[in-house]
Amino acid sequence: MALTNLSRSIKGCVAFITGAASGMGAATAKLFASEGAKVAAIDINAEGLQQVVAEIEAAGCEAKAWTLDLSDAQGIKQTIDAVAAHFGGIDLLINNAGISIPSPIDADGFEEAWAKTFDILITAHTRTIRATLPYLRKSNNPRIVNIASTEALGATKYGSPYTAAKTGVIGLTRSIAVELGSEGITVNCICPGPIRTGMTDAIPEDQKQEFARRRVALKRYAEAEEVAHGTLNFCLPSSSFITGTALPVDGGMTIKNA
Ligand code: NAI
């Protein structure tokens, strides 16, 4: 006789993961594939995607790449329909792809930075959610996870487009969680802190260590895989009553005062 009723396996689920060519998206694609999911790896970077998919296949797991620019509304819909046709549905939507364009509020290029940031960091999420919904509605384990940021819980100078968009991701998550709750579709977001990925590559190692020493309870940057495990937890069938949350995965950065 089983001692518990709920499964901690995503085996057989189809996962649509954006930004899968690098950083947290690549780590999530590898983790989900190793857990037995069928991974649709989505990114604008075709070369990076091929590498990630080749690694997954070499490990005997299942993934396929779709090259997509998430600023292309029509492309999003077409890609989602193609993924569903290929794998026979979609169960897990991971809105992870992102960009960071620091811009002072009075800079000449501010409006452009603002528009581009909102396009990729939040408008694309609404489009992927709208286009996957018919498939999520047919799933036995429908889950949406949006990747926000600790920049949605605090702020950094010159980051107003990023912080405003990421704060919006938390609002979007809560609102859609309420809207889709009666259908059993859960919607959560993760707020990563300082993580070693393509986005933070250019920050010199000594600056990383100094930042972590001052600001992070665990005194270090995280590896991308440590965030991927948080995302996996939201996607488990056993996480069926967790919705509308914003989980910091930040080594204790947001709770550390001194
Ligand atoms: P990354 O730069 O390693 O990966 C981002 C991926 O998104 C890249 O593969 C890139 O090609 C893809 N992408 C960018 N624009 C795209 C577009 N128009 N269409 C399709 N794909 C596109 O960065 P990282 O850190 O793995 O970023 C993942 C998410 O985590 C992002 O939403 C980012 O804002 C967020 N984040 C990152 C933190 C960090 O410390 N690295 C901290 C908090 C949040």
Determine which residue's CA is closest to atom 34 belonging to ligand 1: 98
Ligand 1 center–CA 96 separation, angstroms = 6
Domain-located, residue 212:
no
As given in the structure block, the two tokens for residue 87 are 């794998």
CA nearest 158: which of 201, 109, 112, 103? 103
For ligand 1, say whether the CB of 22 is within 6 Å of any of its atoms: yes
Q: What is the mean pLDDT of residues 116-143?
A: 98
Query: Would residue 8 count as lying in a domain?
Result: no
Q: Is 95 strand, coil or helix?
A: strand
CB of 51 closer than 6 angstroms to any ligand 1 atom: no
What are the residue numbers of the active site? 162
**The residue to which tokens 């005062």 are assigned:** 257
Please count the residues of the chain: 258
Give residue 115's domain range. 14-194+223-255
Question: Looking at the predicted structure, is the pLDDT value of residue 120 above 90?
Answer: yes
Report the distance separating Cα 147 and Cα 198, nearest Å: 15
Asked if residue 27 belongs to a domain, the reply is yes
**Does residue 200 have a pLDDT over 90?**
yes
Residue whose CA lies nearest to ligand 1 atom number 32: 98
Distance from residue 98's CA to the centre of ligand 1 (Å) = 4
- Is a pLDDT exceeding 90 seen at residue 168? yes
Give the number of other CB atoms < 10 A from CB of residue 245: 16
- With beta carbons less than 8 A apart as the criterion, state whether 103 and 113 touch: yes
CATH number at residue 85: 3.40.50.720
Asked if residue 5 is part of any domain, the answer here is no
DSSP H stretches of helix in the chain: 23-34, 46-58, 73-87, 110-118, 124-136, 160-180, 205-215, 224-235
pLDDT of residue 117: 98
167 within some domain? yes
Decide if pLDDT at 69 tops 90: yes
User: Ligand 1 centroid to 222 CA: how many Å?
Assistant: 15
> In this predicted model, what pLDDT tens digit does every residue of 229-256 receive, in sequence order?
999 999 999 999 999 999 999 999 999 9
**pLDDT > 90 fraction of the chain, expressed in percent and rounded:** 99
In a domain, 6, yes or no: no
User: Residue 123 CA to chain centroid, in angstroms?
Assistant: 14
Interval 103-112: pLDDT, tens? 999 999 999 9
> Cβ distance 18 to 96 under 8 Å?
yes
For residue 27, what are the contacts with CB-CB under 8 A and spacing of at least 6? 223, 224, 225, 227, 228
Domain count, the chain: 1
pLDDT at 245 (0 to 100): 98
Percentage, residues of the chain above pLDDT 70: 100
Task: State if residue 167 touches ligand 1 by the CB under 6 angstroms criterion.
Answer: no
Q: Is the pLDDT of residue 1 over 90?
A: no
Q: Is the pLDDT of residue 37 over 90?
A: yes
Q: Does any domain span residue 9?
A: no
| Residue 113 falls inside a structural domain | yes
pLDDT tens, 11-21? 999 999 999 99
